[in-house]
Amino acid sequence: MQTFLRGRDLITNQEWTKDEIDTIMDVAFKLKRERALGLPHAHLRDKVLAMLFFFSSTRTRASFEAGMAQLGGHAQFIESSTTQIAHGDTAKEIGEILGRYNDGIAVRQVDWNYGNKYIREVAKSSRVPVFNMQCDIYHPFQVLADLMTIIEKKGDPRGLTINVSYAYASSYQKPISVPQSLILLMTRYGMNVRLTHPPEFKLMPEIVQQAQDNARRHGGSLELLDDFDAGFEGADVVYPKSWGCMLTTSDQQESSEIGKKYTDWIANERRMALAKEDAIYLHCLPADRNIEVTDAVIDGLQSVVYDEAENRLHAQKAVMALTM
Ligand code: CP
């Protein structure tokens, strides 16, 4: 267990050691148990978190805000379009100024080729920890909740097969940050990771390489597939979700047109039956219902999406309590 994490940024889990992530899990499960028992845990009394959003959110916003209140502090919601950020406040100014008002700064900025750079610029100028609430490359808190859910439902993740798969959606071109963070983290936990996608929906080659290195180091594996059905076969955990083809085109309209070739990439009962009988279905949400996944699957017995969403709260509280 690592006990000196005060002041640390969390921009990607890859920058935290396995021991440190184990500590997050340990504390997250403890805080979850304490909340179930009604035991107060005001570790951040009088502390304030700034939550800066450049993109919409339901779960991330609500869970960080609830988490800060439960830890005895407060979270302030700041939206880029309704503040002077829209008129030119720079990343450096945000880091300097919000860092002087607050004890932590959390940012969601998912613009392709920009979000991660922006968050790192804020972190460079901030005297307090900076948290990535999702950028163009990573969604670290989502996959901490996913790891927690897998451990909760399946026990030791080593040797389990997880299928991280593209699925079709029509609502918007979703960032690649969730599948990238998943393949990076789950390979560090000894899982056999399948990355399944059509040829146009590749992830960043350097991230895939890092995941391959993680697998080698931690006794897992990384397998690349382009057959949607094959990804489900014999899997213990299935995580079919949509993302845009950012590596093929930066044009959202073109990405949407390419996606239309794959409208049959929908998670349905027939495909779930290809996975292990006790396989669990994960999705970070929001999902395009009956386009990306059928109601029968997402509302079915194998779906653990509500426990997964709940675990955002506990994982984030753990990181905030350890770092702020
Ligand atoms: N999964 C997730 O990050 O949800 P929100 O976009 O609603 O925050």
List domains and CATH numbers for the chain. 13-139+312-323 (3.40.50.1370), 140-308 (3.40.50.1370)
**What is the strand order of the sheet 74-79 is part of?**
74-79, 48-53, 104-109, 130-135
Residue by residue, what is the 3-state secondary structure of 218-272? HCCEEEEECCHHHHHCCCCEEEEECCCCCCCCCCHHHHHHHHHHHCCCCECHHHH
Q: What is the DSSP letter of 293?
A: B
Nearest CA to ligand 1 atom 6: 57
Separation of 248 CA from ligand 1 center, angstroms?
A: 24
**Nearest ligand 1 atom, CA 55:** 6
Nearest CA to ligand 1 atom 1: 284
Ligand 1, CB cutoff 6 Å, lining residues: 57-60, 134, 142, 284-285
Report pLDDT for 1: 87
Counting ligand 1 atoms within 8 A of each CB, the residue from 61, 134, 141 with the most, and so the one to mutate, is 134
Sequence letter at residue 249: T
Report pLDDT for 120: 98
Separation of 278 CA from ligand 1 center, angstroms?
A: 26
**What does the alpha-carbon distance between residue 43 and residue 68 come to, in Å, rounded to a whole number?**
10
Report pLDDT for 154: 98
**Nearest ligand 1 atom, CA 62:** 8
Counting ligand 1 atoms within 8 A of each CB, the residue from 56, 58, 283 with the most, and so the one to mutate, is 58
Separation of 219 CA from ligand 1 center, angstroms?
A: 31
**Nearest ligand 1 atom, CA 56:** 6
Separation of 285 CA from ligand 1 center, angstroms?
A: 6
Q: Rounded to two decimals, what is the model's pTM? A: 0.98
User: pLDDT for 230-239, tens place per residue?
Assistant: 999 999 999 9
Report the chain (324 residues): mean pLDDT per 10 consecutive residues: 94 98 98 98 98 98 98 98 96 98 98 98 98 98 99 98 98 96 98 98 98 96 98 98 96 94 98 98 98 98 98 99 98
User: pLDDT for 60-95, tens place per residue?
Assistant: 999 999 999 999 999 999 999 999 999 999 999 999
